[in-house]
Structure 1
């Protein structure tokens, strides 16, 4: 990882060419694609192994879930601060260091014998994953020609979806033949190839002069961390007083943080980008869409098994229609996003998604498998047509020098939506409303907000 930039790179940020030349571009695509898949496969495989881990480590099932929540919490707290760090160190430099940290932490899984040790390893893995995710979108913008940027982002989405689809089955297969540490072994060769390919093929690192704003990074982490823990506490039996204190602390610190960032030339929290109506509307649309899809994804298995009395195997087969359809529609949305305005595609995607969610709410009393699956395909088609162009809009609307911040914004928006979606879902389940038509209708209403945002976005004059 020899990423020492030249003096002119350190002094100023030059304009980038329109994508990397081939064959270097293809090697860079391999590096970023494998890096994207690693974390998804890791997390999906781990989820299927949680009961096994609880038994082998002799801990309660509720305790072993900490391995998932700690990882998610560190991700959402650190993506934006690390995207700012990437501007100082160079995107390729941070990406490679993140990959290396992730792989070293993964190796340590083979010598971990306690839950505390595994939690520490997951925190290290999350820091590595956050480092790569924080600059991945910025590098994709530099790797692909402008006319093919949508396809590049859609390819990344498709591979992540494909990895999430196969990860549980892969995890189950590994557990049937080996102990749980081998769940992480599949990531080692993929990571090694990504590191080797990326060391030369990824865009040359460009450093921005100036001191890293450590205080802003800490305030950002505290704001998101307290907000997430507070929201989760509200639906998991934590005393209301403590929940209220956490949320109030998040609001107070967050308010001070936003005011401070508004005065910075290169803020960690990209308030400068959010002043752009295209980016602000796209971010709002992405947040509402992430909440909506998360609600449906989490509540659907409950409905299938509790209301319709499907076996877990049947529910899994029906549920698979969603990610498999998304794999098919993501490349199409990428091609379309390079030809049509994102607002238009967003409207088409949200109309499909809302229609599918409403149809899912009003299923027959005794639905056949196909009755549910074709509705999931409609929702998946809408999601696929919406999300990739929406992310492209945010990345493309930002100046090249703020591409990492824009990428960090899209990642943080998506993860915040997932956390809010899971919190709303937990609330619906606590109210005994999580297995009927209500979650799909709530999701449809939220996804409609995305559609309205896209409609307003369509009326804006496109950037030159």
Structure 2
């Protein structure tokens, strides 16, 4: 029951992200919101997740991941109801921000809870199951959104989270493992500085990618640097810093974090650019594009649990390095597609990318958690979520930059080539772990 509650919580976060992205045009039309303004339905959620994840991870180390997960699940469920009842763009954006805070709490400690449920020799299976659920959530999210919108209005997209959240709470409250409180206190000032640092970083990346006026880039970048410097100064010598530099001093943990950020940047470059590539360059219709995109995510979902089991017997650096090399080759092969390729040819190249990404994800999760001490599981789990979000955000921002420099015809190819470079760098970082202590 405890594992079921965690998996439902993970699925809610993955589904909600995919559903909201797919439904954004319909929501904007119904609320009479301009396209440029409606993007805050996505941005409010993303900024809230990024700003809250590390503070929640630190709080999880203090009071135990169980309380953070249950609180996040309850907050996510209530915020989903508020999204359903929203009647204007400001109301929906505020509800989405609250939903993002709940999702940040869920994402910050879910891997820490899995570590408590699985013994060390079977941890790979647990994180493989987590990766499977995330992969399935992203796979079926667009299909669920399309199906719901074909028979009902957009508020029902958020309403379906409410019963699922209540069921997960019913499982979580009596079954999730409890943890003894730690001796140190929660630093609210550090939490504020952490939230400001990473929220401003995301805003700076987005503004730079859109080639906004320099003050719109320089201001959040300056805020990031100042808040980050103040955070480092405040947390010097702390036994469990919110920005976990103590963990990043461990070579295996640092290399695994670099691997994750580069790999998710490659994924972000691919997932944002491929729909444009298929429709603008290869002239496929939206339905075909959706089918082609599913092939990548479906193979990830199939490969992740297999890789998780293999990581219990083989070094994560080896599995991740091979998988990311396959991802690099797959993205290069997509960029080099002929002008009129067969559908099977595209699907096979997408499947190669999915297999490569799937064989990286579970072993990398295990490497990150195994290289952190048990009392720092919350901090390690928070770093996992932050590495994924920052990587994906960087990838999406670079797609916008490629489109701005090369146009809609050549921009997708540029983005795929850049994504292949990130996958290659991630592969080298992963192989480097074979020599790290």
Q: TM-score, normalised by structure 2?
A: 0.96
Aligned to 1:183: 157
Mapped contact 1:300–1:435 kept (Cα < 8 A): no
| Preserved CA contact (<8 Å) 1:87 1:206 | no
1:258 paired with 2:228, answer no
**8 Å contact 1:337–1:345 — kept in the other structure?**
yes
Q: Indicate the residue corresponding to 1:129 in structure 2.
A: 103
CA distance in 1, matches of 2:63, 2:11: 24
Alpha carbons 1:70, 1:122 under 8 Å: kept: yes
1:286-365 maps to which residues of 2 (within 5 A)?
A: 286-365=260-339
Residues in 2 aligned to 1:237 and 1:212: alpha-carbon distance in whole angstroms: 39
Deviation at 1:119, TM superposition (A): 1.0
1:140 aligns with 2:114: yes
Match of 2:379 among 396, 405, 415: 405
Higher mean C-alpha deviation, range 411-420 or range 430-439: 430-439
Query: SS where residue 246 of structure 2 aligns?
Result: helix
Q: 1:261, 1:447 → 2: CA distance?
A: 33
Paired position in structure 1 for 2:418: 442
Matched residue, 2:132: 158
How far apart in 1 are the matches of 2:221 and 2:332?
33
2:191 aligned with 1:217: yes
> Is the alpha carbon distance of 1:110 and 1:310 closer, same or farther for their aligned partners in structure 2, counting shifts above 3 Å?
closer
Report SS of the residue matched to 1:419. Answer: helix
Deviation at 1:235, TM superposition (A): 2.7
> In 2, are the aligned partners of 1:96 and 1:195 still within 8 Å (CA)?
yes
C-alpha deviations, 1:398-438, integer Å up to 9, x for none?
00000010000010011000111111111001012654532
Is the CA contact (8 Å cut-off) linking 1:90 and 1:205 kept in structure 2?
yes
The 3-state SS of whatever aligns with 2:253 is: helix
CA distance in 1, matches of 2:373, 2:245: 14
Unmatched runs of 5 consecutive residues or more in structure 1: 1-26
Greater shift in the superposed pair: 36-45 or 116-125: 36-45
Partner of 1:61: 35
Give the paired residue count: 435
Residue aligned with 1:176, SS: helix
Looking at structure 2, the residues matched to 175 and 353 of structure 1 have their Cα atoms a distance apart, in angstroms, of: 33
Give 3-state SS (helix, strand or coil) of 1:437's partner: helix
Query: Residue 279 of structure 1 contacts residue 394 of structure 1 at CA under 8 Å; is this kept in 2?
Result: yes
Unaligned runs of 5+ in 2: none
Q: Is 1:208 aligned to 2:179, yes or no?
A: no
Residue equivalent to 2:355: 381
Q: Distance in 2 between matches of 1:406 and 1:78?
A: 15
**Partner of residue 400, structure 2:** 426
* Aligned twin of 1:274: 248
Give 4+ residue runs of structure 1 displaced > 6 Å after superposition: none
1:137-157 deviation digits (Å, cap 9, x = unpaired): 110000112221111111111
- Structure 1 residues 427 and 193, CA gap change in structure 2 (3 angstroms): same
Which segment is superposed worse, 399-408 or 229-238?
Answer: 229-238
Give the equivalent residue in structure 1 for 2:20: 46
Contact 2:331 2:416 in 1 (8 A): yes
Is it true that 1:226 corresponds to 2:200 in the alignment? yes
Larger fraction in helix: 2
**Per-residue deviation at 1:362?**
1.3
Q: Distance in 2 between matches of 1:435 and 1:143?
A: 45
Cα displacement (A) at 1:253: 2.2
RMSD, aligned CA: 1.4
Deviation at 1:388, TM superposition (A): 1.3
Distance 2:120 2:131 in 1: 18
